[in-house]
Chains A and B, each alone.
Chain A
């Protein structure tokens, strides 16, 4: 195995690492610092170290409401994505090789199309004069348009659309790792398709589902564009709050606190699912 000597390896890693450390890690320390400060950030007149920001954010119902909404919606998005992702992943997995490519491109398209384009597509679809309402009215099912746009539902729809590819990817990867003979063996032992899924395939997919769910949840709570564009007016997600505090209100203290909260949440979720997956034991890991 051709090895690269340590001294060279270090130099090779340096640019990338330094970039990340300088522009990502170090500023986090600044964020941490700001979160403990209060005062006028615009003029630079700051007070002493204080927990005021944290107390403010964690006790004010306004903030708590938005934090709660962010997490709740994200959980719903994750669950919906799991349910929607599975049939799609199953399809890609068992379809003849010829169809895999185009199907994959189709399912992954939301990733490559700009969020702006997608969001505006939803505006046209969900609006009061949009596709859905017009169709329902034309078919006589309703007489007044239903408010779909600028609601929490619209946020869920928009987010599921964006994160679905990640879930499908995870699931397909998981399915691909399952030995093909297993399905055959189960069939020969008397299991029909549904039972093969329930008893054999799904249990072995759990790590993939876990990975997909983690990613989905983390992406969801971090989303900015979709909740801002499709949701009700006013900040819907923590991300909008962060933006407002930093850019509009110059409340860097509060903004930093919120940013750190968001970051820590994302990291905890990812660690938690990572730990659960490895706790499932060598058996599952051996199979996947």
Chain B
């Protein structure tokens, strides 16, 4: 029975890792097509991919959008969480539902909504739309992480600070915030990854000029299946791995994802 269990686990782990490993290995392949196992080993596809202007432009876009997204999402989420957990407001359940709503709404519907809203509010800038979209989808995750950290926090420390004469703001800045920091940073890393990797929403909102890396990969593949795709994908995989390790160190992956 135990061996059966072990076999099942190994199969499942193989399943989980399969596409990632295959793509990573393929990226080193010498032949002109996506092939596994790769014949011959080379790094030239990495050079080839990095040199491509469309990938460079898209990578840069993805990068700055992801950074700005997390820098906007984080403070918004922290403020909202503080108000939710520590504030005396009616309708707390409703507000929480609204804040977590983007999780429930299908990505494509979110993309649509933003498209329509941008038309309504007259926001022609593609970058702005993308940013808003990414902030919207990362916000719930950050709210969840920060809220769960906040709820776990013993208010005793803050009460002590108040008694010693600190006002609300200083208590928050010197006592609460440092305690929340690992959770916030973890949430930000997660937001970065979600934003960078996102396809379904960006698909709606990006333009030829303002493209993101995953999207430019997808369109490249329409007419070209060479290993440079694998190379770029592998770079994305390593980015994800780095993020995962950082997240696990900081706050525990399971807690970040709302386990």
Interface residues of A (CB under 8 A from B): 1-6, 8-10, 12-13, 15-17, 19-28, 30-31, 84, 87-88, 91, 101, 104-125, 129-131, 161, 164-166, 169-170, 172-173, 176, 193-194, 218, 221-225, 229, 239, 242-243, 246-247, 255, 259, 262-263, 266-267, 270
Contact = CB atoms under 8 A, between A and B. Distances in A.
A31 B116 contact: yes
A2 B162 contact: yes
Given A9-B87, A19-B132, A116-B214, A27 B112 contact: yes
Contacts of B159: 1-2
Contacts of A113: 20, 197, 236-237, 240
B9 A15 contact: no
Interface stretch (B39-47, B48-56, B72-80): B72-80
A20 B218 contact: no
A169 B257 contact: yes
A113 B237 CA distance: 5
A27 B116 contact: yes
A229 B214 CA distance: 13
Looking at chain A's contact residues, the main secondary structure is helix
A83 to B, nearest CB: 10
A109 B214 contact: no
Contacts of B17: 106, 109
B99 A115 contact: no
Interface of B: 1, 5, 8-9, 12-13, 15-23, 26, 34-37, 76-77, 79-80, 82-84, 86-89, 95, 98-99, 101-102, 104-110, 112-117, 120-121, 132-133, 135-136, 139, 143, 155, 158-159, 162, 168, 171, 193, 196-197, 199-200, 203-204, 214, 217-218, 221, 229-230, 233-234, 236-237, 240-241, 243-245, 248, 253-254, 257-259
Contacts of B155: 1-2
Contact of A109 (B114, B230, B240): B240
Nearest to B189: A112
Given A9-B83, A115-B197, A131-B22, 12 more contacts: A3-B87, A15-B79, A16-B143, A17-B99, A20-B136, A27-B116, A110-B20, A113-B240, A117-B23, A120-B221, A262-B108, A266-B104
B87 A4 contact: yes
9 contacts: A15-B76, A19-B136, A30-B120, A114-B197, A114-B236, A121-B18, A131-B37, A169-B258, A262-B109
Contacts of A229: 218
B233 A16 contact: no
B87 A12 contact: yes
Contact of A124 (B23, B86, B248): B23
Contacts of B12: 84, 87-88
Contact of B240 (A8, A114, A170): A114
B200 A225 contact: yes
Contact of B214 (A12, A114, A170): A114
A161 B158 CA distance: 44
B139 to A, nearest CB: 6
Contacts of A87: 5, 8-9, 12
B155 to A, nearest CB: 5
A254 B95 CA distance: 31
Nearest to A164: B16
A31 to B, nearest CB: 7
Contact of B22 (A28, A101, A121): A121
Given A27-B112, A130-B36, A161-B19, A263 B105 contact: yes
A246 B109 CA distance: 11
B121 A22 contact: yes
Nearest to B215: A116
A222 B107 contact: yes
A112 B99 CA distance: 22
A4 B136 contact: no
Residue of B8, B244, B258 most packed against chain A (CB within 10 A): B244
A57 to B, nearest CB: 15
A173 B95 contact: no
Nearest to B214: A116
Nearest to A166: B257
A106 B102 CA distance: 26
**Interface-central residue, A108, A225, A242, by most chain B CB under 10 Å:** A108
